[in-house]
């Protein structure tokens, strides 16, 4: 009898231990409120953009395969995401290149709808930049893996790899197989879709090569509770050149913290009032809406002829300013602004100048001020948000771009150009805008306007 009792006791104890262990297992189970982005059976909630690569569902896995003669293809979420934490697993053929798009967009005005935005790289090559951050169809590489050998070694060739991607405000962080990979501070885009890329292939590459994704899940609420710390030092892009920008000859026209390289248009030094530097922004202060009545315009120390210029600017309600080029500071020593060709910066909805000018629309945002009207369907971000100006000047051909859209172009010194000048307020200035080089100018029009990320790429004449 004692033996039987002992045996029953041992069995009971074993059962209790098993139940206790199961309870422990349940208590350790991930309670994070993940939301699946893929139902395991269909591609519902996803849309193909860009190219014609193939996507299908096989064994609860999304499978993408390459196709000849088509550009990069993206399977994109129908929903847009701003702040989130994303996790997924992927397996990629060793001959492929791919990536995960986040905060990405496709607009008709931007390169005919081309998908653009942040891409978390998938790179099985010897370079091993998987989980680095690339800016697709915009600035190129922002965060490579050159200085992160642990992350490079974490990639598993021909096996499933796990990504964790955090996008919170201006901070992007990635992990590959739980190893910190990228840490980027960048505020270019705050919202967009998520996309799974099948890269284009060359004629010598095999069509039908596959990349697979599974366990795609996202968090959008209570992110502060679930975010992870990264051991990496962040890369900050504000008022800095990106890796590819530097390779392609771009230079900072403003360093983000000093007045080096700039002076007052009518001064030997930078103005002592009317302009401030705050949080990496160069700001002209409000002084009543009159031209150059406070600090006055500022110009670059150097002269530029053929160039590509990029400037981010932010307006306040009713504000007026401008970016001038081919400026001659020896002209117009009297009241008002210095003379040069002007990329107009204006709150079109609330400033009366929008309805003035020698042609309708020739004084609206991104116009060639008082000379050439701008495309009325231009993409304008709301007051208080950043807009992106781009000016290209090469061998007298000039283009104005706004937020990725070319809104006008013209030929300096041409008969058509000279006719426009003769009909404008500039007709009193001989050979207006025809000098071979000049200063770049930021205008003080008496309204508060902020500038940042001021970059220039000198271009050699052909």
Report the largest interatomic distance among the alpha carbons of the chain, rounded to a whole angstrom.
120
The 10s digit of each residue's pLDDT in 312-352 is 999 999 999 999 999 999 887 666 678 899 999 999 898 87
Average pLDDT over residues 136-162: 97
Average pLDDT over residues 220-229: 96
The 10s digit of each residue's pLDDT in 87-104 is 999 999 999 999 999 999
Topology given in CATH for the domain delimited by 35-237: Jelly Rolls (2.60.120)
| Class of CATH domain 244-458 | mainly beta
Reported as a pLDDT band with limits 50, 70 and 90, residue 295 is confident
The 10s digit of each residue's pLDDT in 180-213 is 999 999 999 999 999 999 999 999 999 999 999 9
**38-42-44-46 Cα dihedral, nearest 10 degrees:** 70
Beta strand pairing call for 73-77 and 46-49: antiparallel
Reported as a pLDDT band with limits 50, 70 and 90, residue 27 is very low
Q: E-assigned strands of 329-411?
A: 339-346, 386-394, 397-402, 405-411
Give the whole-number percent of the chain exceeding pLDDT 70: 91
The 10s digit of each residue's pLDDT in 427-436 is 999 999 999 9
Q: Are the CB atoms for 150 and 179 separated by under 8 Å?
A: yes
Strands across the sheet with 262-264, in order?
Answer: 262-264, 298-300, 439-442, 320-328, 339-346
Domain limits, the chain: 35-237, 244-458
Task: For residues 290 and 350, give the distance between their C-alpha atoms in angstroms, rounded to a whole number.
Answer: 16
Task: For residues 352 and 102, give the distance between their C-alpha atoms in angstroms, rounded to a whole number.
Answer: 39
Task: For residues 391 and 454, give the distance between their C-alpha atoms in angstroms, rounded to a whole number.
Answer: 12
pLDDT of residue 353: 81
In degrees, rounded to 5, the angle at the alpha carbon of residue 46 between the alpha carbons of residues 40 and 50 is: 130
Beta strand pairing call for 210-219 and 35-36: antiparallel
Q: C-alpha 240: how far from its chain's center?
A: 13
- 3-state DSSP call for residue 154? helix
Burial class (CB in 10 A: 0-12, 13-18, 19+), 396: middle
Task: For residues 35 and 133, give the distance between their C-alpha atoms in angstroms, rounded to a whole number.
Answer: 24
Q: Is it the case that residue 20 has pLDDT exceeding 50? A: no
Task: For residues 38 and 40, give the distance between their C-alpha atoms in angstroms, rounded to a whole number.
Answer: 6
Average pLDDT over residues 148-172: 98
Task: For residues 64 and 428, give the distance between their C-alpha atoms in angstroms, rounded to a whole number.
Answer: 63
- 3-state DSSP call for residue 218? strand
pLDDT of residue 356: 80
pLDDT of residue 448: 95
User: How many Cα neighbours within 13 Å face the side chain of 116?
Assistant: 17
Q: C-alpha 154: how far from its chain's center?
A: 28
């Amino acid at each position: 009898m004692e033996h039987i009792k002992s045996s029953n006791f041992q069995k009971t104890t074993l059962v209790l231990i098993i139940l206790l262990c199961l309870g422990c297992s349940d208590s350790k189970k991930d309670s994070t409120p993940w939301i699946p982005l893929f139902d395991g059976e269909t591609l519902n909630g996803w849309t193909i953009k860009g190219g014609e690569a193939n996507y299908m569902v096989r064994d609860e896995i999304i499978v993408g395969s390459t196709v000849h003669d088509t550009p990069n293809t993206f399977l994109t979420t129908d929903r847009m995401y701003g702040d989130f934490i994303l996790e997924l697993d992927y397996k990629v053929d060793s001959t492929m290149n791919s990536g995960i798009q986040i905060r990405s967009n496709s607009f008709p005005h931007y390169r005919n709808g081309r998908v653009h935005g942040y891409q978390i790289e998938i790179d099985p090559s010897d370079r091993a930049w998987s989980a680095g951050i690339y800016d697709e169809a915009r600035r190129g590489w922002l965060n490579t893996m050159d200085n992160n050998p642990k992350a490079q070694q974490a990639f598993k060739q021909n096996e499933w790899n796990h990504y964790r991607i955090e996008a919170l405000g201006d901070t992007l962080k990635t992990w590959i197989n739980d190893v910190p990979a990228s840490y980027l501070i960048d505020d270019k885009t705050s919202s967009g879709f998520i996309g799974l890329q099948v890269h284009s292939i060359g004629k010598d590459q095999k069509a039908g090569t596959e990349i697979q994704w599974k366990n795609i899940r996202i968090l959008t609420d209570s992110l502060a509770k679930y975010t992870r710390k990264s051991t990496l030092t962040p890369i900050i892009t504000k008022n800095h050149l990106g890796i590819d920008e530097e390779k392609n000859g771009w230079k900072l026209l403003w360093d983000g913290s000093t007045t080096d390289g700039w002076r007052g248009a009518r001064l030997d030094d930078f103005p002592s009032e009317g302009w401030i530097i705050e949080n990496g922004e160069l700001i002209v202060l409000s002084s009543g809406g009159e031209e150059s009545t406070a600090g006055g315009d500022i110009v670059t120390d150097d002269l530029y002829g053929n160039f590509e210029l990029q400037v981010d600017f932010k307006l306040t309600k009713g504000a007026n300013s401008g970016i001038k080029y081919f400026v001659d500071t020896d002209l117009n020593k009297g009241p008002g602004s210095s003379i040069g060709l002007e990329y107009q910066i204006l709150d079109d909805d609330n400033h009366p100048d929008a309805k003035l000018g020698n042609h309708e629309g020739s004084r609206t945002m991104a116009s060639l001020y008082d000379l050439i009207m701008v495309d009325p369907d231009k993409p304008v971000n709301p007051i208080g948000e950043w807009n992106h100006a781009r000016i290209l000047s090469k061998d007298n051909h000039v283009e104005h771009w706004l937020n990725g859209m070319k809104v006008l172009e013209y030929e300096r010194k041409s008969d058509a150009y000279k006719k426009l000048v003769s009909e404008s307020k500039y007709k009193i200035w001989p050979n207006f805008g025809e000098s071979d080089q000049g200063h770049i100018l930021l205008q003080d029009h008496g309204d508060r306007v902020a500038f940042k990320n001021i970059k220039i790429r000198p271009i050699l004449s052909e």
